[in-house]
């Protein structure tokens, strides 16, 4: 597997773009931060290392990272675009808590196979899918219960 830096440099070269120190720093920070981050989250981290980098540069670089296959946009139904690492990570789906916004990566072989079977029944060969499950996480349910108990007293 090629290093992410090589993947990105090659991609930029194909687009006649240069690997600048700014792009390199944004890539490094993106790779270091695991999980799902908005462009603004990453901008707030980037500006601690380099104040000269603007929010628009971070946003545009994230778009380029997506196009190069290193990053992926994820949408958890709250209208906010977040980015996660894609390169070298195997396929996974997400469960999102509608109360606190926590998102966890999940994968279930049976569900994956069922999706392929469903597609085949309609004459398709699957090339990809996104599955987002929404609910209330255990922590938030505990809090809700406590809140109810408190008001009932
Ligand atoms: Zn899946
Ligand atoms: Zn929650």
**Which pLDDT band, with edges at 50, 70 and 90, does 1 fall under?**
confident
Distance 110 CA to ligand 2 centre (A): 26
- How large is the average pLDDT for residues 72-81? 90
- pLDDT value at residue 122: 97
- CATH pick for 1-89 out of 3.40.1710.10, 1.10.10.10, 1.10.3720.10, 1.10.150.20: 1.10.10.10
CATH assignment of 92-153? 3.30.1490.190
Q: Which residues make up each annotated binding site for Fe cation?
A: 91, 93, 112, 129
CATH 1.10.10.10 range(s) for the chain read 1-89
- How large is the average pLDDT for residues 75-98? 91
Distance 52 CA to ligand 1 centre (A): 39
Helices and strands (H, E) in the chain, number of each type = 6, 6
What is the Cα–Cα distance from 12 to 116, expressed in whole angstroms? Answer: 34
CATH 3.30.1490.190 range(s) for the chain read 92-153
Evaluate if residue 127 carries a pLDDT over 90.
Answer: no
Evaluate if residue 153 carries a pLDDT over 70.
Answer: no
- How large is the average pLDDT for residues 101-129? 93
Report the mean per-residue pLDDT for the chain.
Answer: 93
Which of the ligands is closest to the CA of residue 97? 2
What is the Cα–Cα distance from 47 to 45, expressed in whole angstroms? Answer: 6
Evaluate if residue 9 carries a pLDDT over 80.
Answer: yes
């Amino acid at each position: 597997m090629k290093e992410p830096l090589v993947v990105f440099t090659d991609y930029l070269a194909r687009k006649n773009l240069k690997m600048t120190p700014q792009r390199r720093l944004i890539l490094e920070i993106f790779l270091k931060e695991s999980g799902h981050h908005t462009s603004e989250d990453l901008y707030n981290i980037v500006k601690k290392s380099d104040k000269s980098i603007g929010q628009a540069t971070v946003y545009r670089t994230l778009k380029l990272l997506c196009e190069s296959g290193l990053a992926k946009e994820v949408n958890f139904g709250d209208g906010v675009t977040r980015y996660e690492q894609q390169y070298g990570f195997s396929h996974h789906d997400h469960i999102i808590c509608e109360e606190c916004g926590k998102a966890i990566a999940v994968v279930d072989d049976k569900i994956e196979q069922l999706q392929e079977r469903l597609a085949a029944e309609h004459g398709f060969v699957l090339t990809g899918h996104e599955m987002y499950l929404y609910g209330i996480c255990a922590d938030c349910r505990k809090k809700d219960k406590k809140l109810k108990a408190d008001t009932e007293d």
